[in-house]
Structure 1
Amino acid sequence: MTIQFDVLGIGNILMDIIAPVSYDFLKKEGIEKASMSLIGEERASVLTSSLLSQGKVQEIAGGSAANTLFGINALGLRS
């Protein structure tokens, strides 16, 4: 049996890291408040280690293709 899909998405794999931080943390790390930055593996490792030592961290699959397909699926289409 062949599975049929309504929509196919092709994109890059991105990981969103969500964590509550202080303004001091943002300043120390050179991060602008309310911004998004694409960073490399080395910078991500350093920041994630720092965030994990401070408290709760959520890692959520992201990227425009993944987010779009999630929305399409929520509308009832197969993706």
Structure 2
Amino acid sequence: MRVIEVSVYGAPDVLRLVERPDPQVVAGLVRVRMAATTVNQADVKIRSGQAASRLGTLAPPFVLGCRLFV
């Protein structure tokens, strides 16, 4: 699957389109096909590193909005 990944903390130019393996379906969960998504102010703060004090440290690379699953 294609994802937009935060390679390092910073401005929007740190975002990269990359291929990742499709997530595996496990008991009790479902996989949903996404056609579109959006970003919000929290995503901007996470990407820039401004939210680290409240959320803890996310080690890049990571995908915004999917921190628990991807």
Q: Which structure ranks higher in relative contact order (CA pairs < 8 Å, sequence separation ≥ 6)?
A: 1
More helix by share: 1
Calculate the TM-score normalised by the size of structure 2.
0.24
Calculate the TM-score normalised by the size of structure 1.
0.22
More strand by share: 2
Q: Larger Rg: 1 or 2?
A: 1
